Amino acid sequence: MIAADVFTASPADVLREADRRRTFAVISHPDAGKSTLTEALALHARVISEAGAVHGKSGRRGVVSDWMEMEKARGISITSAALQFAYGDAVVNLLDTPGHADFSEDTYRVLAAVDSAVMLLDAAKGLEPQTLKLFDVCRHRGIPVITFINKWDRPGRDALELCDELVDRIGLQPMPLTWPVGDAGHFRGVLDRRDGHFIRYARTAGGATVAGQERLDPHAAEAQEGDEWRRAVEEADLLAASGGNFDLQRFLDASATPVLFGSAVLNFGVRHLLDLLVELAPRPEPRADLHGRARALDAPFSAFVFKVQTGMDPSHRDQVAFARVCSGVFERGMIVTNATTGKPFATKYVQQVFGQQRSTLDTAYPGDVIGLVNATSLRVGDTLYTDKPAVRFPGLPSFAPVHFAVVRPLDLGRSKQFRKGIEQLGSEGVVQILRSPRRGDGAPVFAAVGPMQFEVAAHRLDAEFKSPVRLDRLPYTVVRRLTDPAHRAVVDNNRGEVLTRDDGTHLALFSDSTALGVLKRLHPEVPLEPLVAGTD
Ligand code: G4P
């Protein structure tokens, strides 16, 4: 084992490396083009030579079943966690936010590990439900967001209308940096609002290689594109009049978003996005500990675990803990301390996960993500550090659940194992555990952000604790926080149910908003608070 003190990176090296990092996630609704954009970004950074290599075109569908099967077959997780690539002098870390049916608390937790986000919208659809949920988390955490309006190569909505939607629905001021020339479906290129030039894109076969682009001055653009160009210029002028000019401070304080138009599949606008990330997106900053004291970037190594993936096959039990480096330099072989338990953890096996390939990682700096293998003792929210001063970062919040199911042991002879398993899954954050005196200890309620969390929890109770279970879904869709439990009976007697989470939060559940409305009308004195998606 290598001792921590032989590592050579100086504080200045660490600061320089941190300054090169741009750590972000793409937030989007399924099908908006996240996989395609990820590939296009990697293509521009020359990590892959042809689009389709990261996720595999045919592998994009049925992510859930692939995941479960792979987990079972190999006992490891193959879902990618972070894609790292160099772009110019920058090092870009793109963290994956699981989408589709594997949407879960992990999806939100990833946002605790990024410095910025790219909100990817389908030009024909605008803001969609999953995007809104993820944006909610970004807003709450104050994460600056860049908006990329995708699929401009095919018919879609009007560009100004899409911008208005950002203001009207989420109160986010759009600051378009490019403006499309040609309607959705007739995409010629974009007006670069920063210098008034026209960037004309050229198609490549199937969008599989980096798209060519040409920069024309306004006169040449007008001569070539005529009315389309003049319309783009007029609309861009309208934006300037309505507060749509770029303001770096408003981007950084997350009250406004730079907007780009493009087509991930044709690689149009993707280079602009990368350039923008490198130029404007925030670098890693010192992270505040539990006491609000910031840990300097060049302090000794520290990181926090934001995601834990456990192998689904008990014969290949493997757990990978993904941690974001907050300070110092990480080098493989270091012995780190887990601040929660005070115990040492040897980091012999560390990896970087890239698409479906894993490679061993040797060094990491603030902003990077490390995957610690065989990390059965690590939990979501744990802080890791080497050397004094010791540090503990705040844990990750639990998120507003929207799916609920009663869980009962099938084998009553194994109720001890059942209880142990429930405790374990709750402490790992696999699912949230809710209880009530009425339901008793033998029938707790699982609560989750996505139903996939139930499958994972049931599978683990069976495989690891030998306690097979039955899950019965509860028909609740609306949840509020009951801030005073003295009102519990009133809710229980009026079409709701109050359950208490492990952390002591009382949740009032209702089948729908009508049921909630009835209670509010009859008992306006009951103190109910909405839960923000990412913050309950
Ligand atoms: P996701 O990860 O966000 O779920 O989306 P994904 O990239 O898988 O893209 C969803 C569909 O949208 C895919 O089509 C993809 O090709 C298409 N798409 C992505 N970006 C663009 C774009 O800029 N323009 C157009 N026109 N289409 C785009 P599919 O037919 O479902 O799959 P595939 O067979 O093309 O892979």
Domain-ending residue, one of 255, 280, 305: 280
Domain co-membership, 224 together with 313: no
| Whether residue 97 has its Cβ less than 6 Å from ligand 1 | no
Q: Per-residue pLDDT for 224 more than 50?
A: yes
Domain co-membership, 444 together with 374: no
Write down the pLDDT at residue 186. 83
Kind of pairing between the strands at 469-473 and 403-409: antiparallel
Kind of pairing between the strands at 432-435 and 445-448: antiparallel
Domain co-membership, 51 together with 159: yes
Domain-ending residue, one of 385, 411, 434: 385
Which structural domain, as residue segments, surrounds residue 319? 294-385
> pLDDT tens, 269-288?
999 999 999 999 999 999 99
Domain co-membership, 121 together with 227: yes
Kindly report the pTM of this predicted structure: 0.86
Q: Is residue 535 part of a domain?
A: no
Write down the pLDDT at residue 61. 32
Q: Is residue 4 part of a domain?
A: no
Cα of 67 vs centre of ligand 1, distance in Å, is 20
Q: Per-residue pLDDT for 58 more than 80?
A: no
Gap between the Cα atoms of 271 and 90, Å rounded: 14
Domain co-membership, 68 together with 108: yes
- How is residue 22 written in tokens? 């741009």
Atom 6, ligand 1: which residue's CA is nearest? 33
Gap between the Cα atoms of 143 and 24, Å rounded: 10
Confidence of residue 199 (pLDDT cuts 50, 70, 90): very high
Domain-ending residue, one of 385, 416, 448: 385
Report the SS3 class of residue 331.
strand
Domain co-membership, 234 together with 211: yes
Gap between the Cα atoms of 176 and 247, Å rounded: 11
| Whether residue 34 has its Cβ less than 6 Å from ligand 1 | yes
How many domains is the chain built from? 3
- Kindly give, in sequence order, each residue whose CB lies less than 8 Å from that of residue 303, ignoring residues fewer than 6 positions away: 323, 324, 325, 326, 330, 336, 370, 383, 384, 385
Cα of 35 vs centre of ligand 1, distance in Å, is 8
Cα of 150 vs centre of ligand 1, distance in Å, is 10
Cα of 119 vs centre of ligand 1, distance in Å, is 16
Best mutation site among 38, 50, 60 for ligand 1, i.e. most ligand atoms within 8 A of its Cβ? 60
Q: Is residue 122 part of a domain?
A: yes
> At 180, which CATH number?
3.40.50.300
Kind of pairing between the strands at 145-150 and 116-122: parallel
Domain co-membership, 339 together with 241: no
Domain co-membership, 153 together with 251: yes
Within a 13 Å sphere around the CA of 273, how many CA atoms are in the beta-carbon half? 34
Q: Per-residue pLDDT for 76 more than 60?
A: no
Closest-CA residue to 332 (of 379, 368, 377, 370): 370
Gap between the Cα atoms of 133 and 150, Å rounded: 19
> At 300, which CATH number?
2.40.30.10
Closest-CA residue to 120 (of 185, 18, 38): 38
Cα of 48 vs centre of ligand 1, distance in Å, is 18
Q: Is residue 491 part of a domain?
A: yes
Q: Is residue 9 part of a domain?
A: no
| Whether residue 30 has its Cβ less than 6 Å from ligand 1 | yes
Q: Report the pLDDT averaged over residues 83-111.
A: 83
Q: Are 497 and 348 in contact (CB under 8 A)?
A: no
DSSP 393: P
Q: Is residue 73 part of a domain?
A: yes
| Whether residue 506 has its Cβ less than 6 Å from ligand 1 | no
> pLDDT tens, 464-513?
899 999 999 999 999 999 999 999 999 999 889 999 998 889 999 999 99
Domain co-membership, 86 together with 211: yes
Q: Is residue 1 part of a domain?
A: no
Domain co-membership, 253 together with 307: no
> pLDDT tens, 30-39?
999 998 898 8
DSSP sequence for 394-417: PPPPP----EEEEEEES-GGGHHH
Atom 11, ligand 1: which residue's CA is nearest? 31
> At 449, which CATH number?
3.30.70.3280
Q: Report the pLDDT averaged over residues 247-268.
A: 94
Q: Which ligand 1 atom sits closest to the C-alpha of 37?
A: 7
Best mutation site among 27, 36, 201 for ligand 1, i.e. most ligand atoms within 8 A of its Cβ? 36
Q: Per-residue pLDDT for 324 more than 90?
A: yes
Q: Which ligand 1 atom sits closest to the C-alpha of 28?
A: 3
Domain co-membership, 346 together with 211: no
Domain co-membership, 359 together with 445: no
- How is residue 130 written in tokens? 């999953």
Confidence of residue 250 (pLDDT cuts 50, 70, 90): very high
